[in-house]
């Protein structure tokens, strides 16, 4: 499928001269800066599956290596900051980027490397999933890293996508009901994020309510019937990477969130009864793949 060049990608890709970007067709390019999940259900692996399913060309800069499966996280190894920087530089300078998804960053040093790259390359459409707690309940990063996320990255991104546990940790208070979502989202905005998608899936009930508060302060309440399944591993990673892919395709933020949410609901439903491992299994990322999108040319 060929689509018109998205308006936000009309400039040359970062690190490339304008003439190179204008004379050839190319794919929609989405970069994931995140941790690797050896079990394949979350992190970099889920991001690449999502980008591909939504017709985008996925690239990676691995910030951490985890030993994990459907039952939990066994070990985490942070990739050295200079290696993370080299990965980002290599991708951006040669291929270019239309959108970025940021996942788990294990140390304050890696946070600073990513923030520096966003500023140096003026990376567009950055979606930050502040990964702090795994589906299994394992705490993934230290408090000083969470502080660095807020200080260094919140002002530079287009959207943050915390779940209730992560939002509560950032605010230092629990988010204990649907009625608390709006106040919590606005407090997260006050920390410096331009827009917040607060995910309410951890709340009990037959309906899942997520709340998007955009840069204009407008609230968008998104509801859907809960899908009963044990396979919820990687839902946050998948949703944030789907939003980044939709932004790369030219969708405005509210529409990108709606489309991404529609995709993830389909992926959850399609994989709800599939058994993978003995714990929290993954989604069915490839249930309805799109053709690879080509722009320009």
pLDDT, one tens digit per residue, over 155-171 is 999 999 999 999 998 99
Q: Is 28 helix (H, G, I), strand (E, B) or coil?
A: coil
Weakest mean pLDDT among 21-30, 107-116, 270-279: 21-30
Cα separation of 1 and 160, whole Å?
A: 30
Q: What is the mean pLDDT of residues 101-109?
A: 95
Residue 284 has pLDDT above 90, yes or no: yes
Query: Pairing state of beta strands 207-213 and 196-198?
Result: antiparallel
Backbone angles phi, psi at 207, to 5 degrees: -120, 140
Buried b / exposed e along 47-62 (16+ C-beta atoms within 10 A): bbbbbbbbbbbbbbbb
Query: Residue 11 above 70 pLDDT?
Result: no
Q: For residue 1, what pLDDT band results from cuts at 50, 70 and 90?
A: very low
- CB-based contact 76:216 (threshold 8 Å): no
Give the pLDDT mean for 254-264.
Answer: 98
Q: Mean pLDDT for the chain?
A: 91
| Of 216 and 276, more confident | 276
Placement of tokens 């990965």 in the chain:
87
Res. 144: pLDDT tops 60: yes
Please report which residue ranges of the chain form alpha helices under DSSP H.
Answer: 18-22, 43-53, 81-94, 108-121, 143-148, 164-171, 181-190, 235-248, 253-270
Question: Residue 15: its pLDDT value, please?
Answer: 43
Residues 97/91, Cβ–Cβ less than 8 Å: yes
Question: Is the pLDDT reported for residue 19 higher than 60?
Answer: no
Q: Exposed/middle/buried for 87, CB within 10 Å: 0-12, 13-18, 19+?
A: buried
What residue has token string 């530079």?
156
| 285-296 residue pLDDT tens | 999 999 999 998
């Amino acid at each position: 499928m060929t689509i018109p060049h998205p308006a936000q990608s009309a400039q040359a890709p970062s690190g490339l001269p304008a003439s190179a970007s204008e004379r050839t067709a190319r794919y929609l390019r989405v970069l994931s800066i995140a941790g690797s999940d050896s079990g394949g259900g979350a992190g970099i692996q889920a991001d690449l599956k999502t980008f591909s399913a939504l017709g985008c060309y996925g690239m990676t800069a691995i910030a951490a290596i985890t030993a994990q499966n459907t039952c939990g996280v066994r070990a985490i190894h942070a990739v050295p900051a200079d290696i993370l920087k080299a990965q980002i530089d290599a991708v951006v300078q040669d291929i270019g980027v239309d959108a970025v998804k940021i996942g788990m960053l294990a140390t304050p040093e890696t946070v600073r490397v990513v923030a520096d790259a966003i500023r140096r390359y003026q990376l567009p459409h950055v979606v930050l999933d502040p990964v702090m707690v795994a589906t299994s309940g394992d705490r993934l990063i230290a408090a000083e890293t969470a502080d660095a996320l807020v200080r260094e990255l919140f002002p530079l991104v287009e959207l943050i996508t915390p779940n209730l546990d992560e939002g509560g940790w950032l605010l230092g208070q629990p988010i204990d009901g649907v009625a608390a979502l709006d106040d919590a989202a606005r407090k997260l905005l006050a920390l410096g994020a331009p827009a917040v998608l607060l995910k309410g899936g951890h709340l009990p009930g037959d309906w899942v309510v997520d709340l998007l508060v955009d840069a204009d302060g407008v609230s968008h309440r998104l509801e859907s019937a809960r899908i009963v399944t044990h396979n919820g591993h990687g839902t946050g990673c998948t949703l944030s990477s789907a939003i980044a892919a939709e932004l790369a395709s030219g969708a405005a933020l509210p529409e990108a969130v709606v489309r991404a949410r529609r995709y993830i609901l389909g992926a959850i439903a399609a994989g709800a009864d599939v058994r993978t491992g003995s714990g929290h299994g993954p989604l069915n990322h490839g249930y309805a793949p799109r053709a690879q999108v080509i722009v320009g040319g």
